[in-house]
Structures are given as structure tokens and as C-alpha cells.
Structure 1
Amino acid sequence: MERLTPVEMRAPGRWQIGTVTEIVTETPRVKSFRIALPMWMEHLPGQHYDVRLTAPDGYRAQRSYSIASSPLDTGSIELTIDRLDDGEVSPYFHDVVEVGDQVELRGPFAAYFVWRGESPALLVGGGSGVVPLMAMLRHQRRTMPELTLRLVYSVRHADDVIYARELRGDGETLLTYTREAPPGWSGHTGRVDAALIAQAGVDPVHGVAFVCGSNPFVESATGLLLDAGFAAARIRTERFGPSGASG
């Protein structure tokens, strides 16, 4: 009988059963799930996990979700899931999963869209595209607060802001509302534009940029970053949508 080493048992490609220990409602359509893992591995901010559901008849649905938690949260991960009405996995998490339930998952995966703390960074997120960026921000706060990280975050309405309790108004986070701003709002409104990118104040020569959101959002933001002086090699993008990472 083959015996697996501890490292092999924790290999990212191996499925494992995690236990949901906490559920936080972020917005009317977004929830965060803290999941304890028996074979936990330290991840890099920006990586994701695959989640798999198996129906009684054997049918399986699988989706990938970005990790929202810092790698310092040993033993567990946080997945923030946006409910898609026509999805196969996200409605189950929103309508069925409770604290104490078990879910099947494997990871962490991805090597390109990750931040290793090697340089200052400008994070540009649209909607639920903020999730992997939040992992970077949370980790920077705990490990290298002296390093510049700025988040430019675009949402439609005030109740669409994920992680609202954690976002700071001291220049770390620049919010913009594209449809309707909350009463009394004096900040930016409308789509992310050149002025908002410039306001973030990240040096395009020495910094790196991460962009996550829908295809149109990523295309527009990437163009703005190029115009701002970021070299293409210093811009990393991740896209989501009907055929993307979540559903």
C-alpha cells in the first residue's frame, strides 16, 4: 500500500473536506465563508481554490473562488462568493450551506495573479473582483504596513460594497459609485478614470498593478494604467464572468 508523505497529502491537486466555521453577509448578494481545512497549505495573496458539489445522482459542479484571507490565517481560508442566480454552485452556498456543513475543495492554485510583497501595488477592482485584492490588502496590513498598497474599487450602489467594515478612508481605498452614490457622498462617482488612477499615487515605474473584474472593466482599467505609465509587464489581470471563475 502506497503511503503519502505529509507534503503529498497537502498537495494542491488533492481534494479535501473542509468545514464551514463562519458565514458573514457582506452585501445582499455576497457572503464570506470561513472554512477550516484538515490539509491546510499557506497560499499567496491572489490564489484561488476549486470547490466541487456532488448531487445524489452523481452529477458534479465545480467552480473556482479567490481566497480573501491572509496567508497568516493558518488552518482555514475565507472564500467570498457572489450569488449568481443562474449559477450551479453559488446559490447552493447562499441558500443551503450553514455553519458546521462540510464542502469539498482543493487548492491553492495560480502563480501569475499573486502579490509576493515585492513592490508597491495599485489594486483595481470592479464588484466582486475586489476579493483577491482584499487578500493582498489584508496581508500587507499585517506584514508590511510601510509598503504602499492602494485600492481603487468600483461598485454600482452603496449596498454593493464588499468588506465595507474593513475599507479605510485614509487614502488606502478610493471608492467610486457608477450608478448611485450614497447620500452626502463627496468622493468620486462614475467609472474608474485617469484622475482616480492618478489620485491613488502609486509610482508606475516601481509599482505593479493588479486588475480584477468583468471583461469590459479589465479592458478599460488596463488601458488607463498603460496611459498612466505602467508597463504592460507590470499589469496583471484576472477576469470573471459567465464562463469565468465563479458561478
Structure 2
Amino acid sequence: MTKEQPTPDQVRLRLHVEDRQPHDPGQHYVVRLRAPDDYTAQRSYSVASDGEDPLIELLVERLPDGEVSGHLADVAEVGDVLEVRGPIGRWFRWDTRTPAVCLVGGTGVVPAVAMLRTARRLGRTDLLRVAAVGRDPEHLPYAAELARAGALVAYTRHDGGDRTRGVPTGAELRALADGAQVAFVCGSPRFVGLATPLLIEAGVDPTTIRVEQFGASG
């Protein structure tokens, strides 16, 4: 395991998994911690890496009183062996062939990063459009990579480039969603409650929207 901490509350892990099955963008792994008395705690984390990457990349946000995130952020060290299970998930995975739009927020950008990396490797970037929302560049994971990949990056508390602060507008989302046959929404329950209606207002068929939300107990 390798570990880096891009912000005080975020940890990026890259893991070698023996006999790993290739994952699809949008899938996740479960990380389980096991105490000497056999007490266990586990949490699911979306994969940021492309399926052809020899390592799986996970982004962990330290949560208040989070057993797993606190351990991974403050206790786990480079070279530690972790118990993981995956890849998991069919509902939220992108098949890399269907035109798609992503509206993701905060650490919910992770599956969209995997989708962008996979699309780039396959030469299918024309099939995927991403809007990522965060408070500011310091708190939005992969902000620079998302911008380089052509994603719409919207900050709610920071003006960025030619764009003033605020969530994506209806016009911005309509342009991104035009022609999309599936939509992915990922983020906190509060973000999901905002993002899903925005996509519907932008003309996205609600039956094509796939939602993944997370929270302190998710």
C-alpha cells in the first residue's frame, strides 16, 4: 500500500490486490479492519483508477468518529496489508459504450475520475461529459485532473476561471447532457437532493439517472 494525503482530511491509497479481477469504472471496494479480538469495521470506497492500472486507487475522506476513515488517515502506514473485497457494483458502472453525463460533488467525483481515465485510455472521451461541484479547489478531490480532462468544474465558494461561484446552471447542464443516454449522480445526500432535480430540469430522462450517495453511515 502507498499513501499520500492531498489535504488534512483526505487520503489517497494505492493498493496491490493479489489475483485482482479487472473493475469497471463506477465500481467500488470494501475495506475491512479487523481487531485482535476479531471485531470488524468496514466501509465502501469507489475506485478512482482505470481497470488497466496495476493498482487500485481509493480516496478516503476522514469522517467525524469514522472508525475506518480515521484509521486509514491517521494510523495506517505505507506497506500495511489491508483486507479488501471487490470489485463490487453493477448499477453504477459505466459500460464505456453508452453516451453518459456525470454530475458529481465532493468526494463523489471519484467514480467520475475512473470513468474519465478509462474513456481516455479507450479513446472514447466524446462519450462522457462530467460536471464536478466542490466548495473550492482545496476541497475538491482531483480538481486539476478533472479540469485538464475538460470537465465543468463548479465551485460554490470560489470563482474559477471565467466562471463565478455557484452550482452548474441549467444551460450548462443542458449542453453537457445533450445526447446522453445515462446519467450518474454521486455525492452526499444533500448534494444528490440538489443534483437530481437539476438534471431533470436540464432535460435528462429521470429513468436514466443512476444515483450513488454516501454519508457517515453509508
- Matched to 1:157, the amino acid is D
Q: Is it true that 1:241 corresponds to 2:209 in the alignment?
A: no
The match for 2:202 is 228
Residue 168 of structure 1 deviates from its aligned partner by 2.8
Whole-Å separation in 2 of the counterparts to 1:24 and 1:148? 31
Whole-Å separation in 2 of the counterparts to 1:100 and 1:91? 18
Pick from 185, 195, 198 the counterpart of residue 171 of structure 2. 195
Q: Secondary structure at the match of 1:147?
A: helix
Q: Is it true that 1:217 corresponds to 2:191 in the alignment?
A: yes
Q: Secondary structure at the match of 2:79?
A: coil
Q: Secondary structure at the match of 1:100?
A: coil
**Contact 2:143–2:153 at 8 Å: present in 1 too?**
no
Whole-Å separation in 1 of the counterparts to 2:169 and 2:100? 18
Q: Is it true that 1:118 corresponds to 2:97 in the alignment?
A: yes
Whose helix fraction is larger, Structure 1's or Structure 2's?
A: 2
Residue 164 of structure 1 deviates from its aligned partner by 3.1
Q: Which runs of structure 1 show a deviation greater than 3 angstroms over 4 or more consecutive aligned residues?
A: none
Unmatched segments (≥5 aa) in structure 1 = 1-19
1:173-197 Cα offsets, whole Å, 9 max, x none, are 1111112346xx4314112331331
1:158-181 Cα offsets, whole Å, 9 max, x none, are 2112113422357x2111111234
**Contact 1:175–1:188 at 8 Å: present in 2 too?**
no
Identity of matched residues, %: 44
Rg larger in structure: 1
**Contact 1:27–1:161 at 8 Å: present in 2 too?**
no
**Contact 2:63–2:216 at 8 Å: present in 1 too?**
no
Residue 138 of structure 1 deviates from its aligned partner by 0.7
Q: Secondary structure at the match of 2:203?
A: coil
The match for 1:7 is none
Relative to 1, partners in 2 of residues 1:95 and 1:175: Cα closer, same or farther, differing over 3 Å? same
The match for 1:26 is 6
**Contact 1:119–1:147 at 8 Å: present in 2 too?**
no
Pick from 34, 43, 46 the counterpart of residue 66 of structure 1. 46
Whole-Å separation in 2 of the counterparts to 1:82 and 1:63? 11
Relative to 1, partners in 2 of residues 1:193 and 1:143: Cα closer, same or farther, differing over 3 Å? same
Pick from 109, 120, 126 the counterpart of residue 130 of structure 1. 109
The match for 2:154 is 176
The match for 1:78 is 57
Q: Secondary structure at the match of 1:102?
A: coil
Relative to 1, partners in 2 of residues 1:106 and 1:169: Cα closer, same or farther, differing over 3 Å? closer
Pick from 65, 74, 90 the counterpart of residue 95 of structure 1. 74
**Contact 1:158–1:181 at 8 Å: present in 2 too?**
no
Count residues in correspondence.
218
TM (norm. structure 1) is 0.82
1:139-168 Cα offsets, whole Å, 9 max, x none, are 001112353322111111221121134223
